[in-house]
Structure 1
C-alpha cells in the first residue's frame, strides 16, 4: 500500500510539473528531450569550468616561473593572482550563462561591468600605492595619511558603483540624485555618527595630537594609536584599549604630554618623620641616575626634593621625587 501511494504521489508531481512547464512554454513537453538538454548544458558548463580553471593554473604557474621562488609571496604576486582568478571566474560565468540562453545584451553589460570593475580595482591599487609613497616621501603626518587614504577609497568606490550600474541601463544622474537623497536621509537618521565623522576630520586638520602622543582625553590617559574618522583609539599604560567618539574628543579638554618633547614626572614618595630626608635622597639618586629611561641632559637631571611635612600613605612625613623621561 505504501509503495502504491508513493508511486501515485510521484506521478501526480510529474503531471503537475509537466502541466506548469507546458503552460509556460506553450508547447507539448517531452521529458526525455528536456532531461537530455539539461544534462548536455551541465556537461558543457563543467567543460567550461575545467577549461578556465586549467587556464588559470597555467597562467599562475607561468607567473611563478617569471617572478621566481623568492617573489611568489610578495604583494605583487598576490595582486596578480587575484586579478587572474577574477578573470577566470568572470569568463566562466559569462560562458555558462550564454550556454543557458542568457540575453546577449545582459551578457555584454556583465562583460563591460566586469572589466570596468577590474579596471577600478587596478586603479585603486596603483593610485593608492603612489599616494602612499608620495606622502611617505614628503613625510606627511600619519593621521593625514589615514584621512587621504579613506577619502580616496570612498571616492573610488562611489565612482565604481555609479559606472557599473550605468552599464545595465541605469541613468547616472538619477543614481547620483538618489545617492544624495539617501545621504540626506542617512544624515538625519545618524546625526551622532555624522557629527563624529565631521569631528574626526576637524581633529585630523587641526591636529591637537598625533599618533604616538601620550594624552589625557575625558579623563582617559593613554597613547594615541589611531585617529579614525569616527573614533580615536587610545592604549593606556596598563595596556587597555579605549575608543573615544571624536565628537566627545573635540568638545573636551585635551592634555598632550608629548607635544613639546620630554615630560617631567613628579612621583611622591613617603617616609616616616624619624627617617632622614638626606638618607632617602642618597638611596634614591643612584637608582635614578642608573635607570636607562631617565634623561641625564642639562636641565633634565633627576632630583629628590623635600616637598612637605605631613601624612602621606599613612606615614607621618613625605618627600617628592622629580625625574624626566
Structure 2
C-alpha cells in the first residue's frame, strides 16, 4: 500500500466518522445501515422547521409582552426607568427561552438543557443583584456627598464579587467542583499578591486617599518639591499637572506617606510679596500707594482687604510685607501674579515719590591738616 493510499484512507475514515456522528445527532441509527443523504436532508429540514416555528412563536410572545408594557406605562403613567427594567427582563427571558428551545431541538441531553436553564436563572438573579447594588451605592454616596471616584471604586469591587459568585454558581450547575476551583484561584491569588506587594500597597493607599478625600480631582496640591493640579486619582497612582503642563505620576503609597499641602481646600488663599523703601521715606504714603494698586488688580480679592506692614527696619531701608488674597482658580498662575504685583508696586512707589533704595556704601574720609614740618 502506497503512502498516498494510506493518507487517503485516513481522511476517508475521519469523514465517515464525522458523517456518522452528524447522522446520530439528527436522530438516525447506525443499526439499519441506511446512511442516505435524502434521510439526513429530511431530518435537517424537519429540525430546522421546528426551530423556526418555536423561535417565531417565542418572538411573538415577546413582542406581545413588550406591547403590554408600553400600554400599561401610558395608561398608568409609569416611570420610564421601570418600563426600561421590564423591557430588559423580557429581553433576557426571550433570549434564554430561544436558546433553550434551540438546544432541545438539536438533540442535546435533557440534563444539559436543565443545567443551562438553572444557570441562566442564577445569572439573571446576579445581574439584577448587581443593578440593585449599583443604585444603592449611588444613593448612599450621594447622601454622604462622597465623590464619583469612590462610587466607581465600590461599584467595581461589587462587580468583581458578584461575577465571582455568578461564575461559581454557573459552574456548579454544570457539575464542576467549585471548591477545587476556588482553592486553586486562592493559591494563585496569594502567589500573585506576594509577587506584587508594591502594587497592592498602592492599591490600598488609593482606597485610603479616595475615602479620606484629603484632596480631590481639580485641587491644587504641593507634595514635597512637586506642585500641580490633580487631574486623576486611580487605584495605583495620582496624576498632577504642573505649571509647565507636564503630567507627574506619583504612586499612591508615596502620596499616603508624605505631607500633602492642599492649596485649594478653602475658598481663598493668601500670598505675600516683599518690597523696600528708604529709611527716610514716609511709610503711610508708601502703604497707601501699595494698597490702592492692589485694590485695582482684578486677581486680588477685595475682601479680605490686602495689607502692607513693616517687617524690618534695616541698615539699607525699611522692608514691607504685602499680603493679599486670591481665589483658588488663580493658584496655578501665582508666580506670574506675584511678578506683576511687584512691577505694579514699583511703579506706584515711583509715582508717589517714595524712594526705593538699593544696597550701597558711602565712604567718608577725613582730611586732617598735615603736621608742621620738622
User: Please, what TM-score do these two structures have when normalized by structure 2?
Assistant: 0.63
Write the distance in 1 (CA, Å) between the matches of 2:306 and 2:172: 69
Kindly indicate whether residue 174 of structure 2 is the aligned counterpart of residue 165 of structure 1. no
Kindly indicate whether residue 17 of structure 2 is the aligned counterpart of residue 20 of structure 1. yes
Of residues 295, 306, 325 in structure 2, which corresponds to 1:323? Answer: 325
Change (3 A) 1:100 1:215: same
Q: 1:233–1:241: 8 Å Cα contact kept in structure 2?
A: yes
Task: Find the residue that maps to 2:158 and give its secondary structure.
Answer: helix
2:234 corresponds in structure 1 to: 228
Residue segments in structure 1 that go unaligned for 5+ positions in a row: 1-11, 270-275, 309-318
1:4 corresponds in structure 2 to: none
Kindly indicate whether residue 294 of structure 2 is the aligned counterpart of residue 285 of structure 1. yes
Max radius of gyration: which structure? 2
2:204 corresponds in structure 1 to: 198
Write the distance in 2 (CA, Å) between the matches of 1:235 and 1:51: 60
Change (3 A) 1:125 1:243: farther
Task: Find the residue that maps to 1:153 and give its secondary structure.
Answer: helix
CA-based RMSD: 4.1
Q: 2:227–2:242: 8 Å Cα contact kept in structure 1?
A: yes
Write the distance in 2 (CA, Å) between the matches of 1:209 and 1:103: 59
Change (3 A) 1:243 1:277: same
Give the stretch that moved more between structures: 97-106 or 57-66.
57-66
Kindly indicate whether residue 78 of structure 2 is the aligned counterpart of residue 81 of structure 1. no
Write the distance in 2 (CA, Å) between the matches of 1:241 and 1:77: 45
After TM superposition, the structure 1 = structure 2 runs for residues 1-325 of structure 1, keeping only pairs within 5 Å, are: 19-21=16-18, 24=21, 26=30, 27-68=33-74, 74-140=80-146, 144-217=150-223, 221-224=227-230, 227-232=233-238, 234=240, 244-266=250-272, 281=290, 284-288=293-297, 291=298, 295-297=301-303, 300-303=304-307, 322-325=324-327
Residues paired across the two proteins, number = 293
Q: 1:301–1:324: 8 Å Cα contact kept in structure 2?
A: no
User: Please, what TM-score do these two structures have when normalized by structure 1?
Assistant: 0.71
Residue segments in structure 2 that go unaligned for 5+ positions in a row: 1-8, 25-29, 276-284, 313-320, 328-374
Write the distance in 2 (CA, Å) between the matches of 1:87 and 1:154: 24
Give the stretch that moved more between structures: 216-225 or 169-178.
216-225
Write the distance in 2 (CA, Å) between the matches of 1:210 and 1:240: 19
Write the distance in 1 (CA, Å) between the matches of 2:159 and 2:62: 29
